[in-house]
Amino acid sequence: MNDKKYLIVGLGNAEQQYAGTRHNYGFEVVNAVATNLKATFSVDRLAYVARATYKGRTLVLVMPTTYMNLSGKAVKYWLNAEEIAPDHCMVICDDLDLPLGSFKIKPKGGGGSHNGLNNIIEQLGHSNFPRLRCGIGKDFAMGYQVDYVLGRFSSEELKLVDPCIERAVEAVKSFVTAGLQHTMNQFNNTHSTSETTTKEPQS
């Protein structure tokens, strides 16, 4: 296993009709990581794949082209193909149980109601991989969960989502350089608010 190599997986549905939906939050974050690191995706086995380097680390960025509920096939393939240990694989996805504008990083755990995470756990045979779960909230009436997760963010919601994506990119970069525990300590207790959507000057 190469301890300088990391697999960064964004979950979503690859078909064009799902672009920009809440359920494709993981795709949006991984796309942003690629843009930040000037990497370009190409079609590869079971996924869109891009490669980037950052501070001596190699990042293999993956967006599965399987349906969401078969995401584990792509994750298992690319972990094996790139000889990457599961603790060097971060899976990024949407989360109904977290408020919009927030995310939480966990080292392992169950998939809850998320079909993508559950399939990864099933395919790998364990749940010992880090995940970054991006909150989409629960602003829907009973029985309308599917419509909600496959819907798109409003312009007002994007004022919380966009800075959250920016912070998630920084969290990924921290994960591959400073490690998981440091990254959780730094990023898990912060979240976006409407007052923080304007970009601060870079120091």
23 has catalytic annotation: yes
Domain holding 135: CATH number?
3.40.50.1470
- Give the count of domains, the chain: 1
The stretches of the chain forming alpha helices (DSSP H) are: 25-36, 71-81, 115-124, 145-149, 155-178, 180-187
The rounded distance, in Å, linking the Cα atoms of 132 and 11 is 11
Helix axes 25-36, 155-178, angle to 10 degrees: 60
Q: Is residue 201 part of a domain?
A: no
What is the per-residue pLDDT for 200? 37
Do residues 33 and 165 make contact, with C-beta atoms less than 8 angstroms apart?
Answer: no
Q: Answer whether 59's CB lies under 8 Å from 3's CB.
A: no
pLDDT at 48: 98
- Report mean pLDDT in 10-residue bins for the chain, 203 residues: 90 94 97 98 97 97 95 97 96 96 95 93 97 94 92 95 97 97 90 42 37
In a domain, 33, yes or no: yes
pLDDT computed for residue 196 by the predictor:
37
In a domain, 41, yes or no: yes
203 in a structural domain: no
Domain limits for position 77: 5-196
**Can you give the pLDDT at residue 192?**
53
Q: Is residue 107 part of a domain?
A: yes
User: What pLDDT is stored for residue 198 in this prediction?
Assistant: 35
pLDDT score recorded for residue 44: 96
Mean pLDDT of the chain: 92
Q: Which of 30, 55, 21 is nearest to 154 (CA)?
A: 21
pLDDT digits (tens, 9 = 90+) for 66-115: 989 999 999 999 999 999 999 999 999 999 999 999 999 999 999 988 99
Does residue 71 sit within a domain?
A: yes
